[in-house]
Chain A
């Protein structure tokens, strides 16, 4: 997985663990956590394939633009790899 990633902009109606405020935002993988059963399957009682999970760090400037309290503050979130696309650094 590349270090710089963009969160997919998809907005499916079901149970997912990718917050809306991070969709489309570019961050850097802070650490990779291994693979975990996909919550999108577990939520509906299905057997779940293990999916790679990463901690991604975003700057507040990237997430909120000019509305950020302090552009250099950061936001870390755990995002499943199937929600991430490789991308160039912003």
Chain B
């Protein structure tokens, strides 16, 4: 059986889905044809496509976790991040391209969460590709109207006194939530802190883990 990528693991450590061995779909046929035409017509090269895939694979939630951990530990970086999260993240060395990023911060009184009701905008150049639920009809539809019910489905139950701020990414900005720093982490290194920061905590559908 053909396996042109049998050794490759996805960023989550799982094998890629075995698309090679299922029957060829119309849309897969289109993808192959479009890709080969772009190469034949000189628009791109096979190497450029491979590099782009590697670049996206390298973008994943651990990058955002490092940004959050530094914001918790480094007041000057925190200030720079809240002022211009895109520039602060680029200055930290992450390849996020032209991403225009805004950081919103959770506190004891405020909980932020991110959605894109019109499509599925996501800070992909920092956190990688969005989870499937983020692109779902249910999340896109309900989050702006009943954020607390959606949060409860994710296991996040907020006090009535906590204000929820929903951010609908309708245009050119992308958003990252800076989750509240858990208690009992005062003496932890940035590496240890980063391990507490989950993908969902940076979308606002989760909170940081407690040590």
Contacts and interface: CB of A to CB of B under 8 A. Distances in A.
Direct A–B touching, Cβ under 8 Å: yes
Interface residues of A, number: 23
Contacts of B172: 33, 36, 53, 78
Interface in A67-90: 67, 69-70, 72-80
B147 to A, nearest CB: 7
Interface stretch (B4-12, B64-72, B161-169, B185-193): B161-169
A39 to B, nearest CB: 7
B161 to A, nearest CB: 10
Interface in B139-187: 144-149, 160, 163-173
Contact of A18 (B164, B170, B173): B170
B117 interface: yes
Judged by DSSP, the binding face of B is loop
A77 B164 CA distance: 14
B168 A76 contact: yes
A76 B167 contact: yes
A71 B149 CA distance: 14
Interface in A52-70: 53, 55, 63-64, 67, 69-70
B165 A74 contact: yes
A73 B118 contact: no
A80 B149 CA distance: 30
Contacts of B145: 21, 63-64, 67, 69
A86 B147 CA distance: 28
A53 B171 contact: yes
A70 B144 contact: no
Given A69-B149, A70-B164, A73-B165, A78 B144 contact: no
Nearest to A68: B145
Given A33-B172, A78-B169, A19 B148 contact: no
Closest 4 CB pairs of A and B: A78-B171, A73-B164, A77-B168, A77-B170
